[in-house]
Amino acid sequence: MKLITAVVKPHRLDEIKEALQAFGVQGLTVTEASGYGRQRGHTEVYRGAEYTVDLVPKIRIEVLVEDADADELIEVVVKAARTGKIGDGKVWSLPVDTAVRVRTGERGPDAL
Amino acid sequence: MAPAIITLAADAPKLDTGNTAFLLLSSALVMLMTPGLAFFYGGMVRVKSALNMLMMSFISLGIITLLWTGYGFSFAFDGDNGGFLGGTSWLGLRDIAPDDLWGATGTPVFAFAAFQLMFAIITPALISGALADRVKFTAWSLFIAVWATVVYFPVAHWVWGGGWLGQKGVIDFAGGTAVHINAGAAALGVILVIGKRVGFKRDPMRPHSMPWVMLGAGLLWFGWFGFNAGSEITADGVASTVFINTQIATAAAMIGWLAYERLRHGSFTTLGAASGAVAGLVAITPSCASVSPLGAIAVGVIAGVICAAAVSLKYRFNYDDSLDVVGVHMVGGIVGSLLIGLLNTGGVGQDVKGVFYGGGWHQLGVQAIGVFSVLGYSLVCSAILAKLIDMAMGFRVPEDVEISGIDQAEHAETAYDFTGVGSVSHAAPSGVETVTRKVDA
């Protein structure tokens, strides 16, 4: 199994959700996050005083998938998240040892 | 403003119900400016000190009202002693009957006392913006009590109560010198003594709530009609001129500030719109009865641009006027007061004219005397008072309190409940029954 993690712009959440549903993903976890990449943050001006805000709002989406689906799913997420502008985010995957469905105790791919 | 005369003779002016209604409603409008100011300032500070900022304004409603009743009104408006201070016959507001009238205005003395009380309340509250985040609430309370006694009541007398500035012919219709320059200079005097916030120029100190700032600015703008038009006391043509000039100058100043910002920094900011409006209100306050509507546009635009430029002075000169009381109120007050010397049309109940209307330079000189005497007196007295309070009890909170937030330490409260899951454990307030909700399996 693989854990796909995407840190992306908040306003792309709906597109990504729809793309994942169309792909057949059963569940996902969304977290509010903040951070910056190469673009750094943004600047705000109050009465002429400039404030650099380093950390910009992001969302983190996490999905557990079977190994065979991982690469294709990454492509789906990247496509749905892309705006072409700076700050679109990152997607990565990690190997997962075990997953358990809490209600039934099922393990591995059955738990997805 | 009318001289302090209670008419007792048989041919006394009769009560004018229209003027009285106007004055009482104006008083209520001016009262609303203090909570408005609290929100204006409160939104500009960080979350951790928002309540303290509100409280520094609200406490003025409490303390100054009692001082005013005790001796403030008497010291400011009961006759004249050598041009410096009023008398003592109205201590405790005794010996004023409900039917006693204020001069020839046909309004009760009590209505006038209430109206002027609202000015006495908001003036010290204005100072608090410069001291954001860092002063003890007890020290602040003591400061405004003594400051009102030593500075505000005398200065109000000088300008409006028959004192020496009024006798010299200084025009300050609704408080450019007595209120705004006075408060701005006091703010400068105190911050030069108590110093900068921890992290000034290093840590970000962004306003925590721009909606609060806009709400506060809106309430100030609304209440200011009572402040300016009400200062005529009678509901007449001058009050109407003042009312419309107030609106015009404020609009012009907002546009002026925003234009400056756009050219200088690239954006039309919300804080700029709110600040520009306040700068215009300040500048038109002394001059509202002296200028034409087109003159009011000039007052507004000039004040908007100059104040927008002035607020950055604190970074250049390295003093921490936290919320720009000096840059907006002192500078705005100076602009409005001096412009009277240039733009006075002499057409609205005044017999002097400004330079641009053929009146010569005399009035400008008189205005300058008013500006700099009040500025100097307030600055020096406030700095001395701040130093005395600092030596006696410490004016500032400890550094760790300032860093962790003054609300929690001084008021045992916080402005917002940001607690997450399980981060607070406490018993339910007594008398509240805890209900356990049943959940379907």
Domain housing A42: 2-111
pLDDT above 70 covers a percentage of chain A that reads 100
B187 touches B127 (CB < 8 A): yes
Task: Test B269 with A45 for CB contact under 8 angstroms.
Answer: yes
pLDDT value for B389: 98
Please report which confidence band the pLDDT of residue B439 belongs to, taking 50, 70 and 90 as the band edges.
low
Query: Can you give the length of chain A in residues?
Result: 112
* pLDDT tens digits for range B42-53: 999 999 999 999
Flag whether residue B420 sits within 8 Å of chain A, measured between CB atoms.
no
Using CA coordinates, name the residue in chain B closest to A54: B204
CA distance linking residue B17 with residue B107, whole number of Å: 8
CA distance linking residue B254 with residue B274, whole number of Å: 7
* pLDDT tens digits for range B319-371: 999 999 999 999 999 999 999 999 999 876 667 889 998 888 999 999 999 99
Could you tell me if residue B64 is inside a domain? Answer: yes
pLDDT value for B163: 94
Nearest to B265 among A48, A52, A53 (CB): A48
Query: A67 vs chain B: nearest CA distance in angstroms?
Result: 35
Query: A107 vs chain B: nearest CA distance in angstroms?
Result: 24
pLDDT value for B1: 47
Question: In the predicted model, what is the mean pLDDT of chain B?
Answer: 92
Task: Test B206 with A48 for CB contact under 8 angstroms.
Answer: no
Task: State which amino acid sits at residue B415.
Answer: A
The answer to whether residue A52 scores a pLDDT higher than 70 is yes
B186 touches B151 (CB < 8 A): yes
**Beta-bridge mates of residue A62:** A5, A29
Q: Which of B206, B212, B213, B258 to mutate to test the interface with A (most CBs of A within 10 A)?
A: B206
B279: number of Cβ within 10 Å:
35
Task: Test A46 with B269 for CB contact under 8 angstroms.
Answer: yes
B4: which residues sit within 8 A by CB, 6+ positions away?
B77, B78, B79, B80, B86, B102, B103, B161, B162
| Chain B residues touching A48 at Cβ < 8 A | 261, 264-265, 308, 311-312
Which has the closest alpha carbon to B340: B360, B363, B314?
Answer: B363
Rg (CA), chain A: 17
**Which of B210-242 are b and which e, b meaning 16 or more Cβ less than 10 Å from the residue's Cβ?**
bebbbbbbebbbebbbbbbbbbbbbbeebbebb
Flag whether residue B262 sits within 8 Å of chain A, measured between CB atoms.
no
A110: number of Cβ within 10 Å:
11
B173 touches B325 (CB < 8 A): no
The mean pLDDT of B66-85, rounded to a whole number, is: 95
pTM above 0.95, yes or no: no
Flag whether residue B308 sits within 8 Å of chain A, measured between CB atoms.
yes
pLDDT above 90 covers a percentage of chain A that reads 70
Domain housing B281: 17-411
Task: Test A46 with B206 for CB contact under 8 angstroms.
Answer: yes
DSSP state of B203: S
pLDDT value for B8: 54
| Chain B residues touching A46 at Cβ < 8 A | 206-207, 269, 271
pLDDT above 70 covers a percentage of chain B that reads 91
The mean pLDDT of A34-63, rounded to a whole number, is: 86
Q: Which of A31, A44, A46, A54 to mutate to test the interface with B (most CBs of B within 10 A)?
A: A46
B138 touches B145 (CB < 8 A): no
Please report which confidence band the pLDDT of residue A38 belongs to, taking 50, 70 and 90 as the band edges.
confident
pLDDT value for B2: 45
The better pLDDT of the pair B1, A93 is held by: A93
Domain count, chain A: 1
Domain count, chain B: 1
CA distance linking residue B77 with residue B410, whole number of Å: 36
* pLDDT tens digits for range A77-87: 999 999 998 88
| Chain B residues touching A49 at Cβ < 8 A | 312, 315
| Chain A residues touching B263 at Cβ < 8 A | none
pLDDT value for B279: 98
Please report which confidence band the pLDDT of residue B417 belongs to, taking 50, 70 and 90 as the band edges.
confident
DSSP state of B311: T
Question: In the predicted model, what is the mean pLDDT of chain A?
Answer: 91
Three-state SS for chain A is: CEEEEEEECHHHHHHHHHHHHHHCCCCCEEEEEEECCCCCCEEEEECCEEEEECCEEEEEEEEEECHHHHHHHHHHHHHHHCCCCCCCEEEEEEECCCCECCCCCCEHHHHC
* pLDDT tens digits for range B12-63: 689 999 999 999 999 999 999 999 999 999 999 999 999 999 999 999 999 9
The mean pLDDT of A33-40, rounded to a whole number, is: 85
Could you tell me if residue B41 is inside a domain? Answer: yes
Could you tell me if residue B57 is inside a domain? Answer: yes
**How far, in Å, are B3, B241, B323, B377 from residue B139 at the CA level?**
36, 41, 19, 21
Using CA coordinates, name the residue in chain A closest to B261: A48
Mark which residues 318-337 of B lie under 8 Å from A by CB.
324
Flag whether residue B14 sits within 8 Å of chain A, measured between CB atoms.
no
The better pLDDT of the pair A45, B183 is held by: B183
Which tokens belong to B311?
A: 């607020």
Flag whether residue B271 sits within 8 Å of chain A, measured between CB atoms.
yes
Rg (CA), chain B: 23
Flag whether residue B261 sits within 8 Å of chain A, measured between CB atoms.
yes
Could you tell me if residue B435 is inside a domain? Answer: no
- Looking up residue A81, the CATH number of its domain turns out to be 3.30.70.120
- Looking up residue B311, the CATH number of its domain turns out to be 1.10.3430.10
